[in-house]
């Protein structure tokens, strides 16, 4: 069974239709990369999947493990295992990062009928991730994303992914603004999550990250639709010839 089935989705932001009959299936264990010009609707697609308040779905359906999620609240979708790493993570002053992470993890554990982790257990769990991501220990005692650099915010998104262990992982430009070391660390984090079951949707403008995480499919999103799906060899073609060279497949 597909992990996620996006069927003929039409979605508006305000009065403007952004997604215009988009179809896309995510397969278990696979990494799907999405590329496409600015303003094509890539972020809108990720927002649609997680139930963002900006987006209104006018037609079509999204199935997760065979069930429609369009009527589910954003937090329910999250608890069921859908995770979005935001293109622009928001800052929340005063909310301690570690406290936030533990609250989120325990919400998930409660949802799964597991026991909540206490602070000590949680910190132990977190420490190994921090080291792997090359994050300074003080990042988790600071306010959530407040004053974080662009790269630090992205690492913090990956940290959340590692802690929450979601099943559908959407990464919206996780590679933008990362230095070489950060890109390697973030890619390593993503690769660690590959387990043959999880599905990844990686939105990017650059081939660099794809060299590290080896996508199974490349989808081209243009003007609100997926106009082409191919293997990783498509990246080189796109880099050379641009998006205008792609003609929508029948």
93 contacts another protein (rule: CB under 8 A)? yes
> In terms of Cα–Cα distance, which of 9, 168, 138 is closest to 77?
168
Task: Give the CA dihedral 67, 71, 75, 81, nearest 10 degrees.
Answer: 10
The stretch near another protein (CB under 8 A) out of 24-32, 92-100, 176-184, 203-211 is: 92-100
Residues 207-246 touching ligand ATP, rule: CB under 6 A, are none
**d(C-alpha 165, C-alpha 176), whole Å:** 23
Q: Which residues are CB-contacts of 156 (< 8 A; sequence separation ≥ 6)?
A: 89, 97, 135, 139, 145, 148
Beta 31-35 vs 92-96: how paired, if at all?
unpaired
Q: Which of 3, 43, 97, 187 binds Mg ion (CB under 5 A)?
A: 43
44 contacts ligand ATP (rule: CB under 6 A)? yes
Answer with the entry of ligand ATP, Mg ion, another protein, none that 217 interacts with (C-beta below 5 to 8 A by kind): none
Check the CA dihedral 184-37-161-165 and report its sign. Answer: negative
Which letter, b or e, does each residue of 72-108 get, where b requires 16 or more Cβ atoms within 10 Å of its Cβ? beeeebbbbbbbbbbbebeeeeeeebbebbbebbbeb
How many residues line the site for another protein (CB under 8 A)?
28
113 contacts another protein (rule: CB under 8 A)? no
Q: Strand order in 55-64's β-sheet?
A: 16-26, 4-13, 55-64, 67-68
Instruction: Check residue 204 and report its DSSP letter.
Output: -
Answer with the entry of Mg ion, another protein, ligand ATP, none that 66 interacts with (C-beta below 5 to 8 A by kind): none
239 contacts another protein (rule: CB under 8 A)? no
Q: Which of 4, 35, 62, 79 binds another protein (CB under 8 A)?
A: 79
Q: What minimum distance in Å lies between the beta carbon of 228 and ligand ATP?
A: 15
The stretch near Mg ion (CB under 5 A) out of 42-50, 96-104, 115-123, 142-150 is: 42-50
Q: Which of 9, 22, 24, 43 binds ligand ATP (CB under 6 A)?
A: 43
**d(C-alpha 241, C-alpha 219), whole Å:** 16
Comparison of 97 and 238: residue with beta carbon closer to another protein? 97
Give contact residues for another protein (rule: CB under 8 A).
50, 52-53, 73-75, 78-79, 83-84, 86, 89-90, 92-96, 99-100, 103-104, 107-108, 111, 143, 160, 164
């Amino acid at each position: 069974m597909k992990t996620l089935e996006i069927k003929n989705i039409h979605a508006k932001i305000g009065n403007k239709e952004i997604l215009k009959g988009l179809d896309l299936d995510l397969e278990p264990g696979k990494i799907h990369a999405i590329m496409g010009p600015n303003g094509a609707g890539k972020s809108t697609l990720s927002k649609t999947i997680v139930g963002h308040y900006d987006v209104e779905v006018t037609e079509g359906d999204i199935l997760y493990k065979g069930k429609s999620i369009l009527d589910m609240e954003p937090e329910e979708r999250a608890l069921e295992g859908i995770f979005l790493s935001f293109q622009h993570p928001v800052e929340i002053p005063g909310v301690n990062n570690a406290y936030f992470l533990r609250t989120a993890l325990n919400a998930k554990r409660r949802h799964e009928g597991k026991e909540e982790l206490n602070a000590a257990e949680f910190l132990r769990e977190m420490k190994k991730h921090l080291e792997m991501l090359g994050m300074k220990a003080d990042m988790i005692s600071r306010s959530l994303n407040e004053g974080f650099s662009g790269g630090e915010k992205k690492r913090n998104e990956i940290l959340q992914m590692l802690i929450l262990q979601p099943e559908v992982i959407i990464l919206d430009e996780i590679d933008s603004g990362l230095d070489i070391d950060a890109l390697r660390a973030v890619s390593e984090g993503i690769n660690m999550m590959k387990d043959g079951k999880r599905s990844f949707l990686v939105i990017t403008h650059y081939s660099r990250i794809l060299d590290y995480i080896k996508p199974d499919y490349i989808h081209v999103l243009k003007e609100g639709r997926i106009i082409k799906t191919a293997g990783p060899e498509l990246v080189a073609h796109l880099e050379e010839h641009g998006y205008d060279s792609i003609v929508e497949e029948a």
